[in-house]
Amino acid sequence: MPIATPEVYNEMLDRAKAGKFAYPAINVTSSQTLHAALRGFAEAESDGIIQISTGGAEFLGGQYNKDMVTGAVALAEFAHIVAAKYDITVALHTDHCPKDKLDGYVRPLLDISAERVKTGPGLSGVVRGRLRPPRRPRPSPPGTPGRTARRSTCRTRWRRGPS
């Protein structure tokens, strides 16, 4: 089943309230912990909630950039793809967020989420607008260790930042 839409998530919450139960919520920090959480939900035949903390999102954003928004969006995009293979419904959440991280983490995620609800699945225009092609590396001077005579080819990868 897919990731819960806002309407499906509201139904999940109504069902939990009426049945006087709570859905399990699991913090994830990688694709491995996401797979483990999904497997656990599936084996228990339970819908659930996947949460990502600011630290987990920062880690997923890359050790160099430590971009929480990029990390959270990357995990959410991955979750949409892999969760579709399970017979459960999963809601995506941020974990508890310190007040000093609201503007840099939660508010951008809310903007992206609102755009995604409007446009449907896939990378939203907001996300695409935040990404740009990488800078081309400068050529190494002749004689530099590691330089090869063969020209390497690479696919365009996207990264955040101003143009």
Distances from the Cα of 14 to the Cαs of 1, 17, 20, 56, 61, in angstroms?
19, 5, 10, 29, 34
pLDDT of residue 163: 47
Higher local confidence (pLDDT), 32 or 122: 32
| Closest to 23 in 3D by CA, of 36, 77, 4, 83 | 4
Domain limits, the chain: 6-133
Which is catalytic among the residues 14, 47, 95, 103?
95
Respond yes or no: is residue 14 known to be catalytic. Answer: no
Mean pLDDT, rounded, for 85-114: 87
pLDDT tens column, 102-146 = 888 888 888 888 887 787 655 544 444 554 454 555 555 666 555
Q: What is the CATH number of domain 6-133?
A: 3.20.20.70
Torsion angle of the four alpha carbons 155, 156, 160, 163, in this order, in degrees rounded to the nearest 10: 150
Strand partners, 27: 51
pLDDT of residue 141: 60
Q: Give the CA count within 13 Å in the CB-facing half-sphere of 115.
A: 16
Residues 90 and 12: their CA atoms lie apart, in Å, by 10
One-letter identity of residue 132: R
Q: What is the pTM of this model?
A: 0.67
Residues 54 and 49: their CA atoms lie apart, in Å, by 16
Please determine, for residue 43, whether its predicted confidence score (pLDDT) is greater than 90. Answer: yes
DSSP 80-146: HHHHTTSSS-EEEEE----GGGIIIIIHHHHHHHHHHHHH-SSS-HHHHHHEEPPPPPPPPPTT-TT
